[in-house]
Amino acid sequence: MSLALTRRRAATALVTAALLLPLAACGGKDDASDSGTGATDGASSSGAPKAQLTVLAAASLTDVFKTAGAAYEKANPGTKLTFSFAGSQELAAQVNQGAPADALVTADTKTMDGLRGDTGTPTVIAKNRLVIATGEGNPEKVENLKDLADPELKVVLAAPEVPVGRYSKQVLDAQKIDVKPVSQEPNVRAVLSKVELGEADAGIVYKTDAATATDKVDAVEIPDAQNAIAQYPAATLKTSKSADAAAAFVTWLSGPEAQKILQAAGFQKP
């Protein structure tokens, strides 16, 4: 073999090696990503950060959020949601007391606005309306708000500091209807329970709550002109140790999958 040919082959080998080096480097980076040591660490297959989140939510969201939570966990493997349901005023007290949580969803904007220093920017994710809940078959023949003023009728309402209690007072005052409730409850589910158990003849609840107990209560519609619109704002909590994951969940609540679940349960579009 001539010296010139040997030199030519050596030069070709050097060029080939030089071209292969960048490709090898790219391959190394891809391998690292596939093994979970790259930028995808801590994220689910959908891109949301993995975390164990605690969400404080209004009592009227109890059933629908269990469904929504299961859907979110399925779409985001590695994320675990724990819900704490109560009246919005109770949730606000928990936040003020420093309860460890990541996100908050209330049944009114007033309560959320009162926690402005503790939350991120809230987003309304759903709306709701009031109905009159009666015993199954409406044995007392309640037809409208005025019927609730009957002194012979056992009516239960939520306390005025509770969003549904405040909405109830708003609609009754607007119609100049004086109702003497036999009790004032700490949240809407407690009102519904009193009617379900026969401890009250009627109570004002959200439409979605009455829909969860159609085998035990009837719902008497309240005309739009006499009704109130409840708004449900959601926000992250500034004390969250999983801020990105909490923000991802709050954002998801406004997305198509969560909205489909909310509206199937009777909630209105935000």
Which CATH number applies to 128-229: 3.40.1160.10, 1.10.10.10, 3.40.190.10, 1.10.3720.10? 3.40.190.10
35-91 pLDDT, tens digit each: 232 223 355 555 677 889 999 999 999 999 999 999 999 999 999 999 999 999 999
Tokens of 229: 């619109």
Of residues 267, 216, 197, the one with CA closest to residue 57: 267
Spell out the domain ranges in the chain.
52-127+231-264, 128-229
Count of CB atoms within 10 A of residue 113's CB?
12
The counts of H helices and E strands in the chain are 9, 9
Assess whether the region 52-127+231-264 and the region 128-229 belong to the same CATH fold. Answer: yes
* Angle at the Cα of 206 from the Cα atoms of 203 and 212, rounded to 5 degrees: 95
Contacts of 223 (CB under 8 A, 6+ apart): none
Phi, psi angles (nearest 5°) of residue 150: -60, 120
DSSP state of 55: E
82-125 pLDDT, tens digit each: 999 999 999 999 999 999 999 999 999 999 999 999 999 999 99
Mean pLDDT of the chain, nearest integer: 87
> Which residue is associated with the tokens 């991120």?
120
Of the spans 24-38, 39-53, 218-232, which averages the highest pLDDT? 218-232
Q: What is the pTM of this model?
A: 0.81
185-205 pLDDT, tens digit each: 999 999 999 999 999 999 999
CA count, 13 A, side-chain hemisphere, 26: 5
* CATH number listed for the domain at residues 52-127+231-264: 3.40.190.10
Given a cut of 70, is residue 6 above it in pLDDT? no
